[in-house]
Amino acid sequence: MTGRTRHTRPAGRRHEDERASGGRRPPEELDGAAGSSALLARLMGGVPPRRLAPALLGVIMAGFVAQSMVDICTSTAGHVHLTSLMVDFLLIAGLQAVHCLPCAAGLRRRHGRWTLALQGALAFLPLYLAGWNTGAMMGFAGASLLLVPAGRDAWIGYGAFLLALAPTGPVLGMTPAASVYLVVANVLSSLVLYGITRLVELVDRLYEARSAMAAMAVEQERRRFARDLHDLLGYSLSTITVKCELTSALVRVRPEQALSELTDVLAISRQALADVRTVARGYREMSLLTEIESARGVLAAGGIRAQVDVSAPAPSGEANTVLATVLRESVTNLLRHSRAEVCRIEFTAQGPDVRLLVTNDGVPADRAGARENGTGLANLADRIAGVGGLLEVGAVEGTDCFRLSAQVPAQA
């Protein structure tokens, strides 16, 4: 064959895994945007509302600020000392908001290193230069060291923070117990702020992912609707066209046969209307064996000799519908794009798979490539890939024949 298009099976072991699990697919293997949306919805079940997480972060930060301000106000230092500590701590708290809140992400990306260095200086320099007890201010700096740098640099910076934090008690002349308390309090406050900030980021990303999944699900449904309309109406309208042409030729010479053909056209048009309504409601099941008999009648009405060989039982479930759709599209393309005289339809079993082979003659050389790249064949490739199947299409070398082969798991 030349110019052949081959669509490989994207999930080669999918049908084997399903047979091993008794035909049931676990939730983790849901396919496509709809399955991903369902999985994400389950994950979102325990996620707090989007505005609650930043509010919780703000409350925790406000609590640490209030606690530190009370500690400063109850100290025995002078007014200048107290005022300086308050201003220093308010600056540290403001920088912490820059390092934590989602609304400051742009500023953090552009100037994060400078704001981090300034916060560290405001937290540790008053302690080591003037011997002032900056309390929980150092915990804020520790949280920022985990948030602003990326990857390993964050934990290296946090290790340096712990080394700088360890001697704070002796520098201030505290007892060993008070020194340990001060270190533990700052470590805990830094880890709490870090954890809550990451929670806010995670919640924000989950809600963004949910919005993206919803958009993907809508787009997938649009594609399904367009694909099903093409597959169903293309076949029906092509059949109606062929029968109307035949009726036009018979109406004067064989009026009874022309009336019979018109009756068939009426039945087909009613079925097309029912198909459109079914597509609008959702998924439509089809039968391959029924479509084979329908194709035999349509080909005969178009003056095309049909050779049908069915040596395997009809597949079950989605494979049946997919192969029926493949046959419809093949017959539609044959009627539209060829001057076929013979069409051969073969349905056989090959191990755990079943195979549908459609071959017809009368394909002009300038149309072979166009048929491989058409919208209908692209739709078929999507359908067959969805059940872990294989599609091959192309012209047969040295002839005017076109060949389409679709192989899918019998228990897809």
What is the model's pLDDT at position 346?
94
What is the model's pLDDT at position 404?
92
Alpha carbon distances (Å) from 258 to 194, 227, 229, 306, 377: 81, 33, 29, 22, 33
Q: 343 pLDDT band (50/70/90 cuts)? A: very high
Q: Which residues are within 8 A (CB) of 239 and not within 5 positions of it... i.e. 6 or more apart?
A: 268, 298, 301, 335
Q: What is the DSSP string of 320-348?
A: HHHHHHHHHHHHHHHHHH---SEEEEEEE
Over the stretch 302-336, which tens digit does the pLDDT of each residue have? 778 889 999 988 887 788 888 988 888 888 888 87
* pLDDT over 60 at 3, yes or no: no
Report the amino acid identity of residue 342: V
Helices (H), 101-175: 105-130, 137-147, 152-165, 168-172
Q: Determine the Cα–Cα distance for residues 117 and 122; give it in Å rounded to an integer.
A: 9
Lowest mean pLDDT among 140-149, 183-192, 221-230: 221-230
The mean pLDDT value for 194-206 works out to 84
Q: What is the pTM of this model?
A: 0.46
The mean pLDDT value for 193-202 works out to 85
Contact between residue 33 and residue 213 where contact means Cβ atoms under 8 Å apart: yes
For residue 219, the number of C-alpha atoms closer than 13 Å in the C-beta half-sphere is 9
What are φ and ψ of residue 132, in 5° steps? -85, 140
Over the stretch 38-79, which tens digit does the pLDDT of each residue have? 555 555 555 667 677 777 777 887 887 777 777 667 665 667
